[in-house]
Amino acid sequence: MRFGINTFLFTSPFTNESTSLFKQFKRWGFDTVELAIEDPSHIDPERIKAELDKAKLSCGSVCAAMGPGRDLRGPAKDQKTGMDYMKALLDQMVVLECPSLIGPVYSSVGRAEAVSAADYRKQWQTVVKNLKALTSYAEKRNKQICLEPLNRFETDFINTCDQGLNLIKDVGSSALKLHLDTFHMNIEEKDPAKAIRKAGKRLGHFHACGNDRGTPGKDHIDWESIASALKQVRYNEDVVIESFTPEVKVIARAAAIWRKFEPTRNEIATKGIRFLKQTLK
């Protein structure tokens, strides 16, 4: 099991200059970095890889920023924009030697509508078609895609582990896995540990966040049951702290972050990794 940090906690957008964060991440004890690449044109993947190597870190995952206009269930133009964006990320991941593209790869974040059952089925079929094409693209590059259920306020499409597993089943690709996040599970799952056990070997990525989206361990989540479930399914992939602060204004607005969770964002990283290493290892 490796421990990672998502760059959204410290910067948006992530650019070549953001690699100055890497040495600090390593000093804090992280093994991997989760790069939130909002636009592939913002980075030179060869330069990023060289800086990761210099800091003795790995790019464990690339986080898809599914903003407006990137939507695999939206209008044809948005579907194409979303597909082109994620294909470009997969190409960059080859250079970065990064195994996983993660996040809500099916739709724009914030799109939450009360659609009819018939419309939902049509959207489902559209997403399945697009993910079949995207996973085929990933397979040829020896990469995997991990789709993340989000809470009801951020999407109406995939909220639970069960829904995510059903989508994975319909796509039918070994390159498509599930990505679970303790923050979203705290809202949507009746039993987060049970959801982890149900995901089993299909669990490809894991976000560890407090119930308030802050520091893991300084919250009311039953971390002992989470640790036990991860051990039961023999999860040995990355555990990543994904938190946000008001200082990074673009993502703060998108994720409704209106206050600080800790006096400094450094404390979310340092207290969080200390707790996770003690609890999960």
Identify the burial level of 127 via C-beta atoms within 10 angstroms of its C-beta, where 0-12 means exposed, 13-18 middle and 19 or more buried: buried
| CA separation, residue 21 to residues 66, 129, 135, 159 (Å) | 24, 38, 31, 32
Please give the biggest Cα pair distance in the chain.
52
Q: What is the pLDDT along the chain (281 residues), one digit of tens a residue?
A: 999 999 999 999 999 999 999 999 999 999 999 999 999 999 999 999 999 999 999 999 999 999 999 999 999 999 999 999 999 999 999 999 999 999 999 999 999 998 999 999 999 999 999 999 999 999 999 999 999 999 999 999 999 999 999 999 999 999 999 999 999 999 999 999 999 999 999 999 999 999 999 999 999 999 999 999 999 999 999 999 999 888 877 777 778 888 888 889 999 999 999 999 999 98
Identify the burial level of 83 via C-beta atoms within 10 angstroms of its C-beta, where 0-12 means exposed, 13-18 middle and 19 or more buried: middle
Number of domains in the chain: 1
Q: For the domain that residue 35 is a member of, what is the CATH number?
A: 3.20.20.150
For 206, the domain range is 2-280
Identify the burial level of 70 via C-beta atoms within 10 angstroms of its C-beta, where 0-12 means exposed, 13-18 middle and 19 or more buried: buried
CA dihedral angle for residue 57, residue 185, residue 10, residue 138, rounded to 10 degrees: 50
